[in-house]
Amino acid sequence: TQEEQTRAGLRFPAGFTLGAATSAYQIEGAVDEDGRGTSIWDTFAKTPGRVLNGHNADVAIDHYHRYRDDVALMADLGLTAYRFSVSWPRIQPTGSGKVNQKGLDFYKRLTDELRGHGIDPWLTLYHWDLPQELEDKGGWPNRDVAYCFADYAATVHEALKDHVHTFSTVNEPWCAAFLGYASGEHAPGRREPQNAIRGAHHLNLAHGLAVQAMGARRVGGCVNLYAVDPATDSVEDLDAARRIDGLQNRFFLDALLLGRYPEDVLDDLPVEIDFIQPGDMKTINAPIDLLLVNYYSRFTVSGAPGGKQSASAAPTDTGSPWVGSEHVSFVSAGHPVTAMGWEIDESGLVEVLTRVAREYPAIPMVVSENGAAFDDELVDGRIHDRERQGYVEAHLGACKEAIDRGVPLEGYFAWSLMDNFEWAWGYGKRFGLVHVDFETQERRLKDSALWYSEIIRQNSQHEPTDS
């Protein structure tokens, strides 16, 4: 049948990781428990007008209390790996100095539980929840924060290195810098384009310093990549594509993998580049074991003024994240869109993966996030989320195609394991394979989860057994 053929086509090489991902602030809740400090997302979410409907993640999906059940659910699904993040203010409530043992203990319990079920824990150090005290000292535009991060990384690594095989540093530095400090859509909600550039550099520096601080380990850097097309081949549109590709992709890829910033991007920036100190680029280029790629969509851009300033509507009042290229507009290429308004185009995933393989020094990669929000409907206790399943299936197909083209791709993590707090959209958008009732906290497998589970099961069958 057609279905069998499709499934046969989703066979991955033995050892290929099939997992799912989450992040601390989006799922944990328990914001005042066991000595956790305040993060910029606590502050931001409680500031009127910042998050849709005034939602915050004080409770989120209560994972801090329900982690055992959640791990059992992952085991039921057959996940071979789970990517989660550590909440910095649980470990260091003020962002530096004194370590909160109870915070470390939570992640020890979590990772023990995962390993007990044969699930490989993939730990991300920073998924946007900066301790508020560090923001009060200037946040990421302050260089000192990068050094604090390295100290935090060393602490977490030391405590968990026997529990965790794969670490990664900063999730999507583009978002942390440009949504946090330029557009203001994310915490801390500042609209200071020049500081956003400084912040981006310090996030890169934080990555490099953390890699060095962790010593012998398997560690990766994470970027969110987009395929970028010019709307036409006019000079203006080609320039717009060069700019957006530069800010979104090359600024981070070149820094991490080549140890330099792209000249053309620096030239476009409306800021004196006086914050790169001798040795920084070498630090940022510290050898890493793998590259984590988050992929969601493709951008089509135009240099003609007057269009949309970003690919999707923001839920709140925000500025442009495209520092120095604010004139660029985002147009539709006519693909179907998700509930976020993001165009669905799996060919962009093949494109970004093959591009990294072609243009940069050889490095193993994983797709560390990929998924889609849709308006799920509960029908007789089931959620027939065919669109989400189709999205994941298409992007898994893209992974296969990339592998067939020689890309050293080692795994795929669906975003997200469970519905959760979707940043500026609060609880208004659902990305989960697992449905969560935000009132009762009941978890329920969507059809996409059952389907993904079956794909994982089929892929585990052709591996040799130990017995």
Binding site members:
26, 127, 171, 296, 415, 422-423
| Catalytic member of 28, 113, 172, 387 | 172
- Tell me whether residue 351 is one of the annotated catalytic residues: no
What DSSP line would sit under 220-259, residue for residue? EEEEEEEEEEESSSSHHHHHHHHHHHIIIIIHHHHHHHHS
CA neighbor of 20 nearest in space, from 446, 367, 422: 367
Provide, rounded to whole angstroms, the least separation between the CB of residue 292 and ligand GBH.
Answer: 11
Q: Least distance (Å) from ligand GBH to the CB of residue 277? A: 28
Task: Report the distance separating Cα 278 and Cα 26, nearest Å.
Answer: 37
If one asks whether residue 231 binds ligand GBH (CB under 6 A), the answer comes out as no
Coil/strand/helix, residue 120: strand
Q: Identify the H or E element spanning 438.
A: none
Radius of gyration of the chain (CA): 21
Question: Is cis: bond before 416, omega within 30 of 0?
Answer: yes
8 Å CB contact between 421 and 389? no
Q: Is 31 in the site for ligand GBH (CB under 6 A)?
A: no
Q: Which residues are annotated as a binding site for substrate?
A: 26, 127, 171, 296, 415, 422-423
Among 122, 251, 295, 415, indicate the residue that binds ligand GBH (CB under 6 A): 415
State the minimum distance, in angstroms, from the CB of residue 74 to ligand GBH. Answer: 18
Residue of 422, 435, 443, 448 that binds ligand GBH (CB under 6 A): 422
Give CA separation, 395 vs 311, 351, 373, 391, in Å: 20, 12, 14, 6
Distances (CA, A) of 317 to 49, 135, 180, 255: 8, 21, 13, 31
Residue 216 Cβ vs ligand GBH, minimum distance, rounded to whole Å? 28
CB of 22: closest distance to ligand GBH in angstroms?
8
- 369 an active-site residue? yes
Rounded CA separation 373/121 (Å): 24
Short-list 90, 92, 32, 83, CA closest to 57? 32
From the list 352, 356, 349, 355, the residue with the least C-alpha distance to 371 is 349
Question: Could you say which of 296, 391, 451, 452 contacts ligand GBH (CB under 6 A)?
Answer: 296
Given 28, 133, 343, 369, the catalytic residue? 369
Of 134 and 182, which CB lies nearer to ligand GBH in the complex structure? 182
Which parts of 8-27 interact with ligand GBH (CB under 6 A)?
23
| Residue placing its CB nearer to ligand GBH in the complex, 12 or 25 | 25
Running DSSP on this structure, what letter comes out for residue 177? Answer: I
Q: For ligand GBH, which is the closer residue by CB, 111 or 124?
A: 124
Judged by CB under 6 A, which of 111, 310, 329, 459 binds ligand GBH?
A: 310
Q: Which of residues 133-192 bind ligand GBH (CB under 6 A)?
A: 171-172, 175
Toward ligand GBH, which CB reaches closer, 172 or 346?
A: 172
Give the CA distances from residue 289 to residues 217, 282, 367, in Å, rounded to whole numbers and listed in that order. Answer: 9, 16, 14
Residue 124 binds to ligand GBH (criterion: CB under 6 A):
no
Q: Does 312 bind ligand GBH (CB under 6 A)?
A: yes
d(CA 241, CA 245): 6
Q: Which residue is nearest to ligand GBH (CB)?
A: 310
Three-class DSSP category at 21? strand
Relative to beta strand 218-230, strand 120-126 is unpaired
Q: Is 92 in the site for ligand GBH (CB under 6 A)?
A: no
Residue 322: CB minimum distance to ligand GBH, A: 8
Confirm or reject binding of residue 351 to ligand GBH (CB under 6 A). no
C-beta atoms surrounding 384 within 10 Å? 15
C-beta of 23 vs 87, nearer to ligand GBH: 23
Taking CB under 6 A as the criterion, the residue among 17, 43, 195, 224 binding ligand GBH is 224
Closest contact distance (angstroms) between CB of 26 and ligand GBH is: 6
If one asks whether residue 321 binds ligand GBH (CB under 6 A), the answer comes out as yes
Closest separation in Å from C-beta 460 to ligand GBH: 27
Q: Residues 50, 111: contact at Cβ < 8 Å?
A: no
Which residue, 22 or 195, is less far from ligand GBH as judged by CB? 22
End-to-end CA distance of the chain: 33
How many residues of this chain bind ligand GBH (CB under 6 A)?
A: 15
User: Which residues are the active-site residues?
Assistant: 172, 369
Binding positions for ligand GBH, rule: CB under 6 A: 23, 171-172, 175, 224, 294, 296, 310-312, 321, 369, 415, 422, 431
